[in-house]
Amino acid sequence: MKELSQEEWSEQLKEDKNAVILDVRTDEEVEEGYIPGAKIIDIYKGQEFVEEVEKLDKNKNYYIYCRSGKRSAQACTILDQMGYANTYNLQGGFMNWHGEVEGDD
Kindly report, residue by residue over 10-41, the tens digit of the pLDDT: 999 999 999 999 999 999 999 999 999 999 99
CA angle 100, 29, 32 (to 5 degrees): 45
* Count of domains observed in the chain: 1
The predicted pLDDT at position 92 comes to 97
Q: Catalytic residue at 76?
A: no
Range of the domain at 7: 2-96
- Domain membership flag for residue 104: no
Helix (H) or strand (E) holding 54: helix 47-54
Q: What is the model's pTM?
A: 0.95
**Catalytic option among 22, 41, 66, 90:** 66
- Domain membership flag for residue 105: no
Over the stretch 72-95, which tens digit does the pLDDT of each residue have?
999 999 999 999 999 999 999 999
Asked whether the beta carbons of 8 and 14 are under 8 A apart, the reply is no
Question: What single-letter DSSP state applies at residue 102?
Answer: B
Strand order in the sheet with 2-4: 2-4, 86-90, 61-65, 19-23, 39-40
CA distance 89 to 71: 9
